[in-house]
Structure 1
Amino acid sequence: MLTITTLKQILAEPKKIVVTTHYKPDGDALGSSLAMFMWLKSKGHQVHLIVPSDYPAFLHWMPQQEQAIIYTENKVISDEIIAQADLLFCLDFNGLARTHDMQEALRKATALKLMIDHHLDPEGFDDFRHWTPTAAATAFLAYDFIVNQLDDRASITPEIASCLYTGIMTDTGSFRFRSTTAEVHLVIADLISLGAENAQIHEFVFNSSSENRLKFLGFCLLNRLVVLPEFNTAYFSITKDDLTRFNIVTGDTEGLVNYALSISGIKLAALIIDRTNQIKLSLRSIGDFPANEICAKYFNGGGHKNAAGGHDNLPLEEVVQKFKAILPLYTEQLTS
């Protein structure tokens, strides 16, 4: 494993660098990646940002996001860029499978791989690791990497600050999750002092819904929300037809699971969606209930204790029944 001293020496000379993140990037994934992309470019490196897929429209305002190469739309050129890279910066994922179709190209790459991430149980593909599983967001670690590890706070522009702010804000639920420590607030204050316009960022992210998305939200709350009071659990089950009916696009289901978790007394919430090729699950919990354990044991996934995800190849209704059948195993934790 590379040391930070060795990495500083490597970065002292211009390099060909690829920055990438996980499939269907969220605010933390794209925010941390864009920040690292801009910072590396400012140091004189030849940098490409390649994302495995498209990302939500509410992130299209972010500085230099138009520079991102979407792998699913540009596979050939992306594979060439990855093959020629000296360094790969891998942000907000700890296993190459999370890049979906990109993982083969990344595994074959001869470049040194640097992981900046906060998810549990890293796969071990990396040559350098800036990893803290208790960190509030990967963007928080990206800030720490630039400011504290490399002692380069002076290079954080307002654009970089805005991207880092967005990543931390979105992954902490607007600073309400318990991962929001005093240190997080100090970093946020510093990012604002460096030019992040917090009010404007909140406006861009949270007040940019389409009419279809709002109607979809109302439909789901009325027709797809199921509450299981005996297990202090609530879930949404979304069909392919639901997605088609409201012309749902990437990002439109973001945050839906939190409405189930917001019900008084609910300890576990799930969003179960038929994505045609797979059934996707997003779990959220409060307190010490291990949402990540359920995803890891039963749904080929994982994540954080209070925010996790997984998938299944069974039909939607069978996945719903499987999820419900698991709950009695956790009765004591859910009802105590």
Structure 2
Amino acid sequence: MLDTASLVNLLAQPKKIVITTHHKPDGDAMGSSLGLYNYLIQLGHHAKVITPTDYPHFLSWMPGNEEVIIYTDHTEQSNTLIADADIIFCLDFNALNRINEMGEKVGESAALKVMIDHHLEPADFDDYRYWNINACATAQLVYTFITDVLHHKELVNADVATCLYTGIMTDSASFRLPNTTSAVHRIAADLIDAGAVNWRIHELVYNNASENRVRFLGHCLVNRLQVYNEYNTAVIAVTHDDLEKYDVITGDTEGIVNYALAISNVRLAVFIVERKDKVKLSLRSKGDFPANDICKKYFSGGGHRNAAGGVSTDSLEEVVNQFKLILPKYKNLLIQ
């Protein structure tokens, strides 16, 4: 593994740098990537953010977004940048399969790989790792990487601060999750002092939905929500026909699971959605219930204790039935 002093020395001179993150990037993925991008360009580095796929439109306002390259839209250009890079920063993911077909190209590149992440069980593909599972967001780690490792707090300008605040805000569920410590709030305050307009960021992320998205949300809550009170669990299962009927686009399903979790007695909520070739699950839990354990054991996934995801190639009906059959195994944890 590369030591910190060597990395600092490498970054002292302009380098060709690629920054990438997981497929279907969320607020933390884009916030941490663009936050790091806006920091590196101040030092004269030739940096590019490449995302494996598209991402929600409500994240497209962040500073530097106009420079983002979507791999699936610009594959040849992306492959050239990856092959020619001196350093590849891998943010908010810990295994190359999380970046789809990009993973093979990143693995083949002679570039040094720097992982900055907060997910469990990282794979060994990196040369330098800045990793902490207790961090509420990768954006939090990018901030401390810039300020505490590279000692460049003065370069956390308004653009950097805006992006990193977005990442922390979204991955902490607006500062509501248990890992939102006093240190996180101090970082948020520093970012506001540096130019992040917190109320405006909230508006752009959370109050920027299309009419279709709001109507789809209503459909999910009225017609697709099932509550299993004996297990303190709620399930929203959405068909592919639902997605087509409401013209659902990337980002429109994000956060819907939290409405099920908002029910007072519910400790575990799952949003199950039927895509063209697979069924995806998004789990959220309260307290110490291990949502990630269900995803890891039964749905080829994982994540954090209170926020995890999985996938299945079975039908939507089969996945819902599988999930219901799993619940009795966790009853003692769900009803305590």
Q: Same fold (TM over 0.5)?
A: yes
1:174-253 alignment runs, 5 A limit: 174-253=174-253
**Aligned structure 1 segments of 4 or more residues deviating by more than 2 angstroms:** none
1:134-213 alignment runs, 5 A limit: 134-213=134-213
Query: What is aligned with 1:121?
Result: 121
Query: What is aligned with 2:316?
Result: 316
Tell whether the 8 Å contact from 2:137 to 2:168 is kept in structure 1 after alignment: yes
Query: What is aligned with 1:6?
Result: 6
Decide which moves more: 35-44 or 252-261: 35-44
| Alpha-carbon distance in structure 2 between the residues aligned to 1:199 and 1:329 | 42
Query: What is aligned with 1:17?
Result: 17
1:68 to 2:68 alignment: yes
Q: CA deviation at 1:67?
A: 0.5
Q: CA deviation at 1:266?
A: 0.5
Residue-pair matches, total: 336
Q: CA deviation at 1:41?
A: 1.2
Q: CA deviation at 1:42?
A: 1.1
Q: Name the SS for the 2:114 alignment partner.
A: strand
| Alpha-carbon distance in structure 2 between the residues aligned to 1:247 and 1:192 | 36
Tell whether the 8 Å contact from 2:37 to 2:64 is kept in structure 1 after alignment: no
| Alpha-carbon distance in structure 1 between the residues aligned to 2:31 and 2:259 | 24
| Alpha-carbon distance in structure 2 between the residues aligned to 1:249 and 1:66 | 20
CA displacement 1:186-225 (0-9 Å, x = unmatched): 0000000000001110111111010000000011100000
Amino acid at match of 1:59: L
Query: What is aligned with 1:274?
Result: 274
Q: CA deviation at 1:150?
A: 0.7
TM-score, L = length of structure 2? 0.99
Tell whether the 8 Å contact from 2:169 to 2:175 is kept in structure 1 after alignment: yes
Query: What is aligned with 1:294?
Result: 294
Amino acid at match of 1:136: C
Identity of aligned residues (%): 55
| Alpha-carbon distance in structure 2 between the residues aligned to 1:270 and 1:66 | 34
Give ranges in structure 1 of 5+ residues lacking alignment: none
Query: What is aligned with 2:327?
Result: 327
CA displacement 1:65-93 (0-9 Å, x = unmatched): 11100001111111111011110000000
- Cα root mean square deviation, aligned: 0.6
Query: What is aligned with 1:107?
Result: 107
CA displacement 1:244-301 (0-9 Å, x = unmatched): 0000000001110001111011110000001111100000001111000000010000
Amino acid at match of 1:299: F
| Alpha-carbon distance in structure 1 between the residues aligned to 2:44 and 2:271 | 43
Query: What is aligned with 1:30?
Result: 30
Query: What is aligned with 2:264?
Result: 264
Query: What is aligned with 2:304?
Result: 304
| Alpha-carbon distance in structure 2 between the residues aligned to 1:99 and 1:307 | 19
| Alpha-carbon distance in structure 1 between the residues aligned to 2:209 and 2:85 | 38
| Alpha-carbon distance in structure 1 between the residues aligned to 2:105 and 2:275 | 25
| Alpha-carbon distance in structure 2 between the residues aligned to 1:197 and 1:34 | 16
| Alpha-carbon distance in structure 2 between the residues aligned to 1:13 and 1:196 | 28
| Alpha-carbon distance in structure 1 between the residues aligned to 2:104 and 2:8 | 28
Q: Name the SS for the 1:174 alignment partner.
A: coil
Query: What is aligned with 2:93?
Result: 93
TM-score, L = length of structure 1? 0.99
Give ranges in structure 2 of 5+ residues lacking alignment: none
| Alpha-carbon distance in structure 1 between the residues aligned to 2:177 and 2:318 | 32
Q: Name the SS for the 1:73 alignment partner.
A: coil
Q: CA deviation at 1:96?
A: 0.7
